[in-house]
Structures are given as C-alpha cells and as structure tokens.
A and B are shown apart, each in its own frame.
Chain A
Amino acid sequence: MENNPGTNILDEVTQGDYKFGFYTDIENDFAPRGLTEETIHFISAKKEEPEWMLQFRLKAFRHWLTLKEPEWAHLHHRPINYQDIIYYAAPKKKELASLDEVDPELLETFNKLGISLDEQKKLTGVAVDAVIDSVSVKTTFQDTLGKHGVIFCSFSEAVKNHPELIKKYMGSVVQYTDNYFAALNSAVFSDGSFCFIPNDVRCPLELSTYFRINAANTGQFERTLIVAESNSYVSYMEGCTAPMRDENQLHAAIVEIVAMENAEVKYSTVQNWYPGDKNGIGGIYNFVTKRGLCKGNNSKISWTQVETGSAITWKYPSCVLMGDNSVGEFYSVAVTNHYQQADTGTKMIHLGKNTRSTIISKGISAGKSNNSYRGLVKILPNASNSRNFSQCDSLLLGDKCGAHTFPYIQAGNETSIVEHEATTSKISEDQLFYCNQRGINTEKAIGLIVNGYAKEVLNKLPMEFAVEAQKLLAITLEGSVG
C-alpha cells in the first residue's frame, strides 16, 4: 500500500479528539439504580406530577416489559443492562426565579459549550432551554415569547401549567406502544422542551434546546413536543454533548411535532454526544424516536440533522403527511469515525393527496466505522398524485469503513411518483493533491471537501447552527486522513 498515499492520509486525519468531554462537579439528586415501578413512582414524585401523568408512565412501563429490544438495525453492541442505569439525576437546586439562582457551575458548563444563558449577553435571536441530565435548568426569553402567545418551557413546567395541551398532544404522534425505546422513554422521561405556537404567529425567535448529559451511570430520556397551530411558523434547534467516559451511556428520546393547516416547522439537530474513544471504548448509545405529523392541509415539517457524535445512533426522524398538499423534508449528514455506528434515515408516510417529500441523506464514513441509511417511503392508495424524491450519497474515507443503504419503497397508487438516487464515492487522492498544491494542508482539505459534499444539507441549517456544524464536521474527521 506504500504507493497509495490516500490510505495513509485517511489514517492520520481521523484521530481527532472530542472537545466537549469535560465533567462538571455538581451536587445531584439521584434515583436508585435500576428500573421498577418504584423508580417510576420516584421520578413522578420528584417532579410533583399529577396522577394522570403517573398513570401514563406506568402504562408505558408495563407495555415496555412485554417488548424486546429491536434487532433489525445494522448495529452491533453488547446487551444493554437496563437495571444498571440510573434513570433520574438532577442538579440539587430547583425553582429558579432568576439567573442569579442558577448554580454558577452550571452556568460555567453552558458557557464552556458556547451557550449563554444570560439574556443580556445574548446577541443572536435565539431562545434557549438548557437541559442537564434529567431536568431543565433555564429557559431564556420566555417573557418575549409570551407576548406573542408562544409557549416555550421545559416539559415539566408544561405538565404543571398547560396540562390540557399536554394531555391532548403527548403521545399523539409517537404512541408509547410505537417501539421499545419509545415505551421506555414514555415510562421514565424526565424533562425536555415544550413549544406551542398559536394560530397565525410566526415565532419571532429561533427556539433551541441544549441537552447535556453530565452525571455518570445515568441515562438521559427527554421528550420534546412542538405544536404549531394553523398558519404558524417556528424554527427549532437542538444540540447535545456529554462528558468522555469509558462506560456506554443510554440516551433514548422522543420528539413529537404536530403541524396544523398551513403551519411550518423546521427542526434542526446538531447531535454531538460523546462518540467513544479511538478504540471504541465508551460513548453514548443514542436511540431516538422523532416523528412529525403534518395534520393540516398545506402543512410542512422539515428535519435537518447533522449527526457526528454517539457510539451508536439509531434514529429515523419521520413525517406522516396526513393533510392534503402537505410537505415532508429530511436533510441529513451523518458522520461516523473510529468505531462509531450509525443506522439512520427517515420514514415518509404519504396519506393525503398531492403530498410531497424530499430526502437528502449524506453519509460520511471514516476509520473502522459503519454508516447505514435506512429509509421508508410509503404512499398509501388514497395519497394520489404524491411525489417523493430521495437522494442517498455515501462518502468513504479509507478502506476499513462501511457504508450501507437500505431503502424501502411502497407505492400504493398509480398517480404517484417515487424517485431514488444513490451514489458512493471516495475522496480522491487527486482532490487532496490539488488542494495541497494550492497550499492547503491535507486536514484542511478534507474539511473543505467534506463540507462541500454536505453543503446541500448544511445550507438548510439556521445560520447560528451552520457555522458550528461546519466546524464540527472538520473536527470529527480530524485525524481520519493523513
């Protein structure tokens, strides 16, 4: 292989380090290790929840007991011991009236992550809900949003202050019976964000939730619910990081979106959970169920995700296109390096007439990682004149990684059109030398080429996220080529 410089280059560039691996020493409240009905009572009591919430959790838990972990994904990991996980961890202080009462350690943590919870210092028009381990510590700009009738708060607050909305929408898109991890989340979820955009309101700020796993041996199970009423618009962003640890930590979240007539929801994720080290030790197991329901006519939901973290990623942000003329979009960049594994994609379920969906998936594999796209396009008989366009591209860095595509297409009528395109490519030695010859070193060249490859998707991100995502792509692949 001496005459294949490309291979050496790849070996070197994917040796980058995780930049968010620090741990903050905060006093915590923990649930006892393990999962029984008592655990659920404990969580519900800690959160001072109403009875109906506890009953919802218990129903989900009892159903979960009857289920088996899914095995169909192209993923390999040691069995997860669900009795060895702490299901609730919360920084001790609570009921915060102002920022002054937030533990300075916590503020420092978010500052280190580049997230300012201080509204005075905030320059960009983004409202943030900061969730650490099992609880939300601070939601900014609630007053500003309140003036427009927008509700943006932690899930726990929503359960207390807006029970009618939670009862109506929670579990309406992702039922607790949906799958193994959805049932688990429904039983033990601890916090997350809730947003509600009333009729005819264009949300004046970008909304964002920042998730941070901090405590050891814990799992994170958050729930996000977004409801966009008729003629409303919201752009929502989600970011996440975790400390570096040798153990694998479980993250199982649910995101539900409901879009009514003419409403549009843009949901962007930059997922950067700790991916494990170069030898595949540690890292987050990320099992997430995300689904949006285009309930009203002409509604639109678009998912944009940049997935660079986690040892294992299992997620398929989906759209159920129920309203006529509704639109679903999925734009994804998934990067795997070292021993990371990703099985990710989407489901586009066309129920309404003239519904349209677009899928652009860009997989980048380096090191010894495996990256799979799995997507379902299902057009039901009544969804006449529907259209789907899917494009799944894979980029390989090196010759020890894998890229896989599992498209499932079910077209139930004759007036609809489904298109699927797929490509696999490698960064060529010619491209690298061309950059080198212009004075650009190989590491920068790979960042440039990979960002160019992913541009179509990165362009869909809000500005605030796009820059972060571009840097993240380059960092994730540092040391993958040489």
Chain B
Amino acid sequence: MLLNIKNLHVSINGKEIIKGLNLGVNKGEVHAIMGPNGTGKSTLAAAITGREGYEITQGEIWYKNKNIIGMPAEERANEGIFLSFQYPVEIPGVSMTNFMRTALNAQREYHELPAIPAGEFLKLMEEKKNLVEIHSKLNNRSVNEGFSGGEKKKNEIFQMAMLQPSLAILDETDSGLDIDALKVVAKGVTGLRSEENAFIVITHYQRLLDYIVPDFVHVLFDGKIVKSGGKNLALELEEKGYEWIKEQYHAGS
C-alpha cells in the first residue's frame, strides 16, 4: 500500500480537527475526498504533507512503508508527495524557471542524482507546459505573481507534471475554475495517471469528478471518514447534498 493512514488525530492550537481517520491508498488509484466546509479536508492534506503547526496527537501515516510523522515537509516532497495548493502562494522576483529548477534539483540531490543540465530542463518545461496548455511566457514570470485564478491552478498541475510525484493531493483544485480551465486541469491529471502513482482529490463538488473519474469516494465529516463508496457515491451526494450524511452520522453516534 502506498499510503496507509491509521487512526489519525490532528489538532491546531489545541483544537482537534481530525478525529480518528483511516485511509488506505494503493498505487494506480484515485481517491476523492468530499465533504462540507470545515470538516478537516485541508487539514488532512496539511498533515500528510507535514506542515508545521498541525499537531498529530495520535495515529500513524505510513507512506512507502515508512511512518512519516515527524519527517520534514521537504523530505516528504522529495519522497514523492505533492500538494496542489488550494491557494497557491506568490513569490515575487523568483522566476518559474528558477523555482522549478531549484525544486527539481533538490529532488535529484535527495536521490543522489546530478543536477539536470540546463538544455534538458528547458525542454522538459516546454513539454509539461503543453500538457496543461500554458502558452504564455511562463518561464520568466515570477511564481504565481499576477496569475489569474485559473493560471494559478494550471501552474500547480504543471509543477506536478514536472516533479512526477508518487502521491499527488489536489486540494480543491477545481474551486474558482471556469469549465474550460477545469477541463484542462483534468486533462493534465488524467495524462499523468499511471499504475505507479496515486491521487487524492479533495473537492466540494462532483463537477471535477466528471473529468477525473475516481476509484473511491470518501465523505469526510467531523474529522472522520463517515462513508466510502465507488464513483456513484459522488453522484448521490451531488443529488442529495450532505444533509443525509449528517443525519446518518448523528443518528449513528
């Protein structure tokens, strides 16, 4: 199993947000995590990627047969965990070329590989830009600075394509996207899907799942996965909303 989360509890400033979550993800799978606002979806992403300030009070996160709790964020990234940010951050004055080369070479250094030659790197950038249909002069633009909402999200997928992660987490990549941008993002993701990697798609709506078809759908509520199913569960949620889940959850507890 690529990722195996066991009984995870996460607190922020002493307040428990994730309350005993279990999730197993195999290579080649796409898991969708859905649920109403404030149920811990983004907190889960932060816990897996190792963001500071998110305190793991209980449980284990196994990734590639290692319990990664306590592993620094950059090491997790270099081990192949990628997060497509809900709100990508701007870094003024740092060109995308410089940023991506630094990131890619950090990854290569971690795996004891030599730095990528400049020509090869630029070729790779061109190839991956085409994948997400970025036609503008991305290379010299500062990281996310002055990007439209759609461009920022495409840029996340572009970076994912560059870094070739084993486990990619897409945190509400669909939010704020028009239908055309959504299709491009979905196409990018679909193009990267393989038997060797896995995706966790965090989303609010079924919309994205029309294009990125999940193998499993989980409903996160009150810090726990309260319901899991196949792709039809997403359709059911779309139709009925989250109220029935809440009712079931409260009735059961």
Contact = CB atoms under 8 A, between A and B. Distances in A.
A431 interface: yes
A431 B159 CA distance: 16
B182 to A, nearest CB: 23
A444 B107 CA distance: 13
A434 B85 contact: yes
Contacts of B110: 439
Interface in B103-119: 103, 106-107, 110
Interface string A427-459: 011110111111111101000110111111000
A435 B159 CA distance: 12
Q: Which of B52, B72, B85 has the most CB of A within 10 A?
A: B52
Q: Is the interface of B mostly helix, strand, loop or mixed?
A: mixed
A163 interface: no
A429 B50 CA distance: 13
A456 B92 CA distance: 11
A452 B103 contact: no
A455 B93 contact: yes
A3 B13 CA distance: 7
Contacts of A453: 92-93
28 contacts: A3-B12, A3-B53, A428-B89, A429-B52, A429-B53, A431-B91, A433-B51, A436-B72, A436-B73, A436-B74, A436-B77, A437-B74, A437-B82, A437-B85, A438-B99, A438-B159, A438-B163, A439-B74, A439-B163, A441-B74, A442-B74, A444-B102, A449-B94, A452-B142, A453-B92, A454-B93, A455-B93, A455-B94
A313 B85 CA distance: 42
A441 B106 contact: yes
B93 A439 contact: no
B170 to A, nearest CB: 13
A452 B94 contact: yes
Contacts of B91: 431, 434-435, 448-449, 452
A429 B52 CA distance: 9
A3 B107 CA distance: 28
Contacts of B49: 437
Contacts of B77: 436-439
A452 B93 contact: yes
Contacts of A455: 93-94
A21 interface: no
B93 A456 contact: yes
Nearest to B106: A439
Contacts, number: 79
Contact of A5 (B52, B85, B94, B106): B52
Given A3-B13, A452-B93, A456-B93, A437 B102 contact: no
Contacts of B72: 436, 441
A456 B99 CA distance: 17
Interface string B154-180: 000001000100000000000000000
B74 A434 contact: no
Nearest to B13: A3
A434 B99 CA distance: 11
A451 B102 CA distance: 13
Nearest to A452: B93
Interface of A: 3-5, 428-431, 433-442, 444, 448-449, 451-456
A444 B106 contact: yes
Given A448-B98, A449-B91, A453-B93, A438 B52 contact: no
A431 B73 CA distance: 13
Interface residues of B, number: 31
Interface in B58-95: 72-74, 77-78, 82-83, 85, 88-89, 91-94
A441 B103 CA distance: 9
B112 to A, nearest CB: 14
Contacts of B78: 439
Contacts of A434: 85, 88-89, 91
Given A428-B89, A436-B74, 19 more contacts: A430-B89, A431-B89, A431-B91, A433-B51, A433-B52, A434-B85, A434-B88, A434-B91, A435-B91, A436-B50, A437-B74, A437-B85, A438-B103, A438-B106, A440-B102, A448-B91, A448-B94, A452-B91, A452-B93
Given A3-B13, A444-B106, A437 B93 contact: no
Contacts of A435: 74, 91, 103
A441 B78 CA distance: 10
Contacts of A449: 91, 94
Contacts of A3: 12-13, 53
Contacts of A430: 89
A453 B142 CA distance: 11
Q: Which of A4, A433, A442, A449 has the most CB of B within 10 A?
A: A433
A432 to B, nearest CB: 9
Contacts of B88: 434
Contacts of B83: 437
Q: Which of B12, B74, B99, B142 has the most CB of A within 10 A?
A: B74
Contacts of B12: 3
B93 A5 contact: no
A433 B53 CA distance: 11
B152 to A, nearest CB: 12
Contacts of A442: 74
B93 A451 contact: yes
Contacts of B82: 437
Contact of A452 (B50, B73, B89, B92): B92
B74 A440 contact: yes
A5 B51 CA distance: 10
B145 to A, nearest CB: 9
A441 B85 CA distance: 18
Contacts of A452: 91-94, 142
Contacts of A444: 102, 106
Contacts of A429: 52-53
B85 to A, nearest CB: 7
A213 B50 CA distance: 47
A22 to B, nearest CB: 29
Contacts of A4: 53
A451 B99 CA distance: 12
Interface string B126-163: 00000000000000001000000000000000010001
A217 B50 CA distance: 51
Nearest to B73: A436
Given A433-B52, A437-B77, A440-B74, A448 B102 contact: yes
